[in-house]
Amino acid sequence: MDAILLEDDLPTSGQVKLALKENLNNGRSLQLFEGETYSDLVEAFVANIFSRGVIIEAENRAIPSKNLAVTLTSVLFSRPKRNSILSDDIELLKTKLNDPSVAIPEQPLSLVTELKSDINQKETYSFRGRSGTEGFGSKVEELYFPLPYNKEQITIVQNLLTSSGVVVQGPPGTGKTHSIANIICHYLANGKKVLVTAQQSHVLKTVHEKIPDELKPLVVSRNGSSKESKNQLESSIDLIVQKITQMNVAEVRKTIEVLKQQIDHNHHEMALIDREIYNFAEKHYQNIEVDGNKKLPMDIVKTVLESRASYEWFNDQLTLENKDQFPFSQIELIQLRDSRKKIGIDLPFINYG
């Protein structure tokens, strides 16, 4: 009865609705399995829905006709129970697996097959813009990580390029969600689709919060089966469709080419900076030979600073070039010293010419 009263589209008159409400509000007892407790209400309702509508006894039931006929009896419906959409997906997958023309992707196949005993040599990848000290690969790829990252996150992407799956483990607070957000953005920038699943909806919300605002319109989030979640899903899809329909393809392609050129320029500048840093490090960490001894520049500087007080009288600026090398050998110095002793006080009378 409540359903009838709440439905505004039924062709019942206001008097019938009013009568139903009055009966219910006056505490009238309606028993489901006792038709006499509500037969008059049903009769009034049927008469207002269809002018030739009638109420018949259960034993006089006939095959349904074009005229409305209501019987005050119970009806038992029996039909297969639909467990969930997941069951339908499983049945569809089973059907696809039996189709010889359908190739099973490597990723799910690796979960149900034995590991290979042989280890194949995999291709190595490197990413532009990374320091040369982190190694080189046979193939060079672009790395699109909008958030700060470390070497471990790069290793994850490198493994994804050569493996069907990667397992990343770690205790809470070690940056797994941060890494997932970076990887999502990297694949979106490469024009790929990414599906992120989790047992709990709050995990997906945390990942969604990590996505930069510029990419959030491309993320369709579905958390649970609530009405709010469905509205959010529809809103995300509508926004994506709107952006696509309003997109000027030629203008977007032109912008992409400009950005690619800018990226190439930035990589060139970064390579020059890396080379300068390398040369600077090589210059200051390469041994220098002084008087037959090899020493690091930092050790030489340390010796000079420690002996500064003893040589403050020496004001000349010397280098390691040949023009600043001491002009006498050890033997010549000894001979010069002995000659100086022999001359003694007669040194001023020596003719240097």
SS (H, E, C) 186-216: HHHHCCCCCCCCCCCHHHHHHHHHHCCCCCH
Question: What pLDDT does residue 131 have?
Answer: 55
Average pLDDT, the chain: 80
Is residue 167 scored above 90 in pLDDT?
A: no
Query: 320: which residues sit within 8 A by CB, 6+ positions away?
Result: 288, 290
Query: Rounded to a whole number, what is the distance in angstroms from the first to the last CA of the chain?
Result: 136
Segment 286-301, tens digit of pLDDT: 888 777 788 888 888 8
Question: What pLDDT does residue 35 have?
Answer: 74
Residue 301's φ and ψ, nearest 5 degrees, are: -60, -40
Question: What pLDDT does residue 53 have?
Answer: 79
What is the average pLDDT across 328-338? 88
Query: 258: which residues sit within 8 A by CB, 6+ positions away?
Result: none
Which conformational region is residue 90 in: left (phi greater than 0), alpha (psi within -120 to 50 degrees), or beta? alpha
Question: What pLDDT does residue 130 have?
Answer: 66
Question: Cβ atoms within 10 A of the Cβ of 153, count?
Answer: 21
Burial of residue 45 (number of CB atoms within 10 Å: 0-12, 13-18, 19+): buried
What is the average pLDDT across 267-294? 84
What is the average pLDDT across 165-193? 88
Is residue 20 scored above 80 in pLDDT?
A: no
Q: Say how far apart CA 265 and CA 218 lie, in whole Å.
A: 28
- Residue predicted with more confidence, 198 or 130: 198
SS (H, E, C) 146-157: CCCCCHHHHHHH
Under DSSP, is residue 78 helix (H, G, I), strand (E, B) or coil?
A: coil
Is residue 121 scored above 80 in pLDDT?
A: no
Residue corresponding to tokens 């930069």 = 212
What is the average pLDDT across 49-67? 77
